[in-house]
Structure 1
């Protein structure tokens, strides 16, 4: 434990005590959770940011949307709107937040909603004429006022919750024991070549409960980058002058994948609200070269930078093994659930 963590550790003990008491009150029914009569899947983590929730939500959308009416419900972090908002043609990243707007742009067949009050958000969705059959709750593992029917807990390969401490000494939002609420645990951002022996070693460290299965995923990068008007093959970018730009929690893998000798990089905070001053700084550093950013940043930068310069690199979550097992678990829950009580 480094010096700063030693100083902050007493505050972490206090924070952990408060969150533990809250969880006990929900577990005993003293604080009430609301369940709804349709399948509700919550995706979240124990730590603060950077575990790959967006690719996991998108994986579930692809899995379920062909045969079910899907809605995603997010808080809409850093959005400029308030209350319940259902995405439509007038929406943008400022109204919805970057991740929900990304869902809306990529999956026009589903409903995308935001509301910090998840109970109200679900109630509003169910009151629509075209009510959903399945709701995906984004970043809702600690939102215990809603009782989801199925919980997916994410933890990053290089930042496992079993190795972390509670805020502010570490990055955990609650005690590691909160992992017991999960139905499945997904270790994200793994090296694609992670062996079965290495996976077993991680499972041993996580110590899953008997009812839990542990899965392993990696980030799979697209073979092209995309602008509003065209796409370029990755081979066309080799050796080209370019600026890599990221405003996400942990941008290192993105940079490592694209970086070469002629690459400049520019880093902004997660969910950064790009100002005009930022835009001018980006233009100056990029000169007339191509700018490649993440999908999440692209939805916030689109329209602010020249469209012939601005490209994004799509990613998706890919299971190292047992994807059919994971899919079957999810499909069985959705197919057999008449609710989540």
Structure 2
């Protein structure tokens, strides 16, 4: 795969120019972008996946749900439906996508969860509901320029910051680095919990934020408890297990489990992997399976895995969280 990426280096300038020109047309108003008179918050990135958008959306939901009627709107990657879909009791990962299904499972009592590849249409559909949301959180819509969000939260990882990267297909950037200027807030994600102030300032210097851009740092915190639909166990109680991942970057999770000196084999699938009958047959022969919450949304439908499938939740810990929370709440209030 890496060799192929290097072979495609001649395509990089073409991709760069196409995406740069597209953004320029939106910036100049030559391509239409719709803005709204109610709060629309976009969480996205410049990189192709793996920056922590899902836990950030969940963080914002918990921050705002007690004071506002909320909705999340995602594309619904790899779902087997089309158009606008509002999650209900019949929703599955296949119908709305694994990440929206995760949102629905956690927040269905207080938050509307919808999918639509056309975010502008999705926003319109949500606002036409009788009990319409007051605030809409757009999941992974930073490049969806047809919608002009009122506030853009752009994520970039500590291990692979956008300023060290180049555009696809050789790099991981969906658009040139200059796209970061559209962000109102930049969050460096998946940082070490002990990241010192000197290192943070060095990163901020590389980001070169504008006067209007805030920069924050966040870390992933893994739960000590594993869950199934009906039970829970302390992760340290597991003797031997199989780790199953279908996410963009499983390295932080693997490192965490290794640090706890746990014994496991790792079956690493591609991001948003569509588990086949052969995969399920393989997993059914395992005595204990630990997976991510996102992968659990795709796997829990298989009854042969019911008594052996556990997921490990994660949460976001934001440095200077009070300042971050106040910034978001202030924007919503305005």
Q: Please tell me the TM-score bracket, short chain as reference.
A: over 0.9
Q: Identify the residue that residue 326 of structure 2 maps to in structure 1.
A: 328
Question: Does 1:24 find its partner at 2:30?
Answer: no
Instruction: Tell me the secondary structure at the aligned position of residue 257 of structure 1.
Output: helix
> Equivalences for 1:62-211 in 2 at 5 Å?
62-108=62-108, 109-211=110-212
Change (3 A) 1:36 1:231: same
Q: What is the RMSD computed on CA atoms of the aligned residues?
A: 1.3
Which of 1 and 2 has higher RCO (CA within 8 Å, sep 6+)? 1
1:146-165: CA deviations, max 9, x gaps? 01000000000000000001
Tell me if the contact between 2:40 and 2:135 (Cα under 8 Å) persists in the aligned partners.
Answer: yes
Give the CA deviation at 1:3: 7.4
Give the CA deviation at 1:7: 4.0
Distance 1:169 1:179 in 2: 19
Tell me if the contact between 1:47 and 1:171 (Cα under 8 Å) persists in the aligned partners.
Answer: yes
Please, what TM-score do these two structures have when normalized by structure 2? 0.96
Instruction: Tell me the secondary structure at the aligned position of residue 131 of structure 1.
Output: coil
Q: Identify the residue that residue 36 of structure 2 maps to in structure 1.
A: 36
Equivalenced residue count is 329
The runs of 5 or more residues in structure 1 that have no matched partner are 337-341
Q: Identify the residue that residue 339 of structure 1 maps to in structure 2.
A: none
Distance 1:303 1:95 in 2: 13
Tell me if the contact between 1:102 and 1:295 (Cα under 8 Å) persists in the aligned partners.
Answer: yes
Distance 1:74 1:190 in 2: 25
1:275-299: CA deviations, max 9, x gaps? 1111011223x2x2x2100000001
Question: Does 1:309 find its partner at 2:308?
Answer: yes
Give the CA deviation at 1:41: 0.3
Give the CA deviation at 1:4: 6.0
Q: Which deviates further from its counterpart, 37-46 or 261-270?
A: 261-270
Change (3 A) 1:252 1:6: closer
Give the CA deviation at 1:303: 2.5
Distance 1:227 1:314 in 2: 11
